[in-house]
Chain A
Amino acid sequence: MNPQELLYAETHEWVAVAEEGGAKVATVGISDFAVEALTDLVYIQFSKSGGDSVSAGDAFGEVESVKAVSDLYSPVTGEVVAVHDKLADKLETLGDDPFGEGWMLKVKIADESSLGKLMDYDAYKKMCAEQ
């Protein structure tokens, strides 16, 4: 995925929206900036699975590094259609390809208004630069 075409949450998740079978499906991951800030990842766990409903701002899992644990938040509202469970066994993928193979969650969007609160690439880059 091209990071410049994605939407971003303040909590560093990215979102890619695509049409799948007449519905809008969001693919969610965390940005390279987030992976870089976490470093030394040891563990990831998802608390949501396929079929669960999720609201924008809900935690869907947690990622643990040597230094700290961080919650992962869904930037969108809808039904979880896929969770990238295999990521737990290949955490290095998050560093190698955070915007592609490092995806975490797919959500069938039920309420598109949550997308309006997300930032585009330029706004996100600006926020990161200020941190």
Chain B
Amino acid sequence: MTQTLLTTPLTQWHAGHGGRMVDFAGWSMPVQYTSIVEEHNATRNAVGMFDISHMGRLRLDGEAAGEYLDSLVTRRVVDAKPGRIRYALVTNNHGGIRDDVLVYHLQDATGGSYWLMVVNAGNREKILGWINEHPMPAGVTMSDLTMDWAMIAVQGPKALPLLQPLVEADLASMKYYTGCETKVAGHGGIVSRTGYTGEDGCELIVGANVAAQIWESLLESGCDAGAQAAGLGARDTLRLEAGMPLYGHELNEEITPLQAGLSFAVTKGKINHPGADQVFSSADDPSLPRLVGLRLEGKRVPREGYNVVSNGEQIGTVSSGTFSPTMQCPLAMAYLSPAHTDPGTKVHVDVRGSELPATVEKLPFYKREKE
């Protein structure tokens, strides 16, 4: 069965500029344009530009919209002042992760406020269904704006100086995990100090009709500074080094937020969301594996699904792995039984029949130097 892939307002640009296009969660997206390593390094050293329009953007309006979103996620969001953004987990009735999301509380031009929830592309339909199953209070409305808006991540140490001339809001004065409505190249949009690379930077939400023009203009003005378009391949190596989980790999319906090391996104004592009891009881359950980092020597890469062993016994499974362009060694994220999760613990990964030594490491592997 062939299915027509969804396209973003930038799909044509990608395909016309060497983008190697693949099916990602039903969307035609570029894995890379030049090479993953080159795009990765551009993001670490200058600027990487990512089309993330495939991510779902759901807008909620109404006085009780914040309360409603609060009832779906693990983290208190109802008290977020306009301008704040919070990372949170949508949980199922068993405390498993339905999605990891960003919840924005935004102020509009008239002084009113509304909410935005940015969800993973592969989970958008599921979350829309979940919202249907959890009726919204009277006066709250939801609209799926995914197709009306494009989303562009501009990431790297030179991202802010590149973006600032195009964006009305004063980016340097914005704190991490804040966002606001602003003008981008004269068009209404949203800018946020967020990202998925471990670098400084912003994410822009702009109208689908002006996305290509803004994208090209940023690439052109950032060319001398080393700005590059970067694909999903580099996005994956960057987020892995930065210790950020990826849904479908580190996160799924069977894993609770605390197993995944996301306690910062779970508000203590908050019990108004589905599966809250199980989320909290998973904290001390010795039968549940925990997410850790693994660092290996040499060149061979532990890939998703490979077994992690200790003294001949399987103690866990790799959830993501790559050869780190920044650290120049193989890195992996893995779920291990709790007895083996202390940093420094020596384990082995079965890499296609060879047991290679690995050391447990606290995530993230990479932290940018802050000025």
Q: Which residues of A contact B (CB under 8 A)?
A: 39-40, 42-43, 45, 62, 64-69
Known pairs A39-B32, A68-B303, A69-B352 / 19 extra A-B pairs, C-beta < 8 Å: A40-B323, A40-B325, A42-B299, A42-B301, A43-B299, A43-B301, A43-B323, A62-B352, A64-B300, A66-B37, A66-B233, A66-B237, A66-B301, A66-B322, A66-B325, A67-B31, A67-B36, A67-B322, A69-B303
B32 and A43 contact, CB distance less than 8 A = no
List 5 interface pairs A-B (beta carbons < 8 Å), by A numbering: A43-B298, A45-B300, A62-B352, A68-B303, A69-B352
In the complex, which residues of chain B have a beta carbon less than 8 angstroms from the beta carbon of A40?
35-37, 323, 325
CB-nearest residue of chain A to B351: A69
Do B36 and A64 touch across chains, with their CB atoms under 8 A apart?
Answer: no
Those of B292-324 within 8 Å (CB) of chain A: 298-301, 303, 322-323
Shortest C-beta distance, B44 to chain A (Å), equals: 14
Residues in chain A near residue B36, CB distance under 8 A: 39-40, 66-67
Q: List the A side residues contacting B233 at CB < 8 Å.
A: 66-67
CA gap between A39 and B237 in the complex, in Å? 14
Asked if A66 meets B303 with Cβ closer than 8 Å, knowing A39-B36, A40-B35, A40-B37, the reply is no
Q: How far is the CA of A65 from the CA of B237 in the complex (A)?
A: 12
Cα–Cα, bound, A87→B233 (Å)? 25
B323 with A66: CB separation less than 8 A: yes
The 10 closest A-B pairs by CB, nearest first: A43-B299, A42-B323, A39-B35, A40-B37, A66-B36, A40-B36, A66-B323, A42-B299, A40-B35, A64-B301
- Beyond A39-B32, A42-B323, A62-B352, is A69–B301 a contact (Cβ under 8 Å)? yes
Interface residues on B, range: 10 to 19
CB distance from A62 to the nearest CB of B (A): 7
Specify which chain B residues have a CB less than 8 angstroms from the CB of A67 in the assembled complex. Answer: 31, 36, 233, 322
Which residues of chain A have C-beta atoms less than 8 A from B37's C-beta?
Answer: 40, 66
Name which residue of chain B comes closest to A45, CB basis: B300
Alpha-carbon gap, A69 to B31, bound state (A): 16
Q: How far is the CA of A29 from the CA of B63 in the complex (A)?
A: 66
Q: What sequence of 0s and 1s flags, for each residue 24-45 of chain B, a beta carbon within 8 Å of any chain A beta carbon?
A: 0000000110011100000000
B302 to chain A, nearest CB (A): 10
Within B1-55, the residues touching A (CB, 8 Å) are 31-32, 35-37
Q: How far is the CB of A52 from chain B (nearest CB, A)?
A: 17
Residues in B neighbouring A64, C-beta threshold 8 A:
299-301, 323
A66 — which chain B residues lie within 8 A by C-beta?
36-37, 233, 237, 301, 322-323, 325
**What is the distance, in angstroms, from A28's C-beta to the closest C-beta of chain B?**
21
Distance of A98 Cα from B352 Cα, bound (Å): 26
Q: Give B318 Cβ to nearest chain A Cβ, in Å.
A: 13
The winner among A39, A68, A69 for most chain B CB atoms within 10 A is A39
User: What is the minimal beta-carbon distance from A69 to any residue of chain B, in angstroms?
Assistant: 7
The interface residues of chain B lying within 8 Å CB-to-CB of A39 are 32, 35-36
Residue of A nearest to B301 (CB): A64
> In the complex, how many angstroms separate the beta carbon of B2 from the nearest chain A beta carbon?
15
Task: State the Cβ distance, B229 to closest chain A Cβ, in Å.
Answer: 15
Separation of A42 and B300 alpha carbons in the complex (Å): 8
Measured between alpha carbons, how far is A45 from B233 in the docked complex, in Å? 23
Interface centre among A40, A45, A69 (most CB of B within 10 A): A40
B287 to chain A, nearest CB (A): 32
Write the nearest CB–CB distance from B348 to chain A, whole angstroms. 18
Closest Cβ of chain A to B288, distance in Å, is 30
Of chain B, the residue at the smallest CB distance from A64 is B301
Q: Smallest CB–CB gap between B365 and chain A, Å?
A: 15
Q: Which residues of A contact B300 (CB under 8 A)?
A: 43, 45, 64
Most buried by B among A45, A66, A68: A66
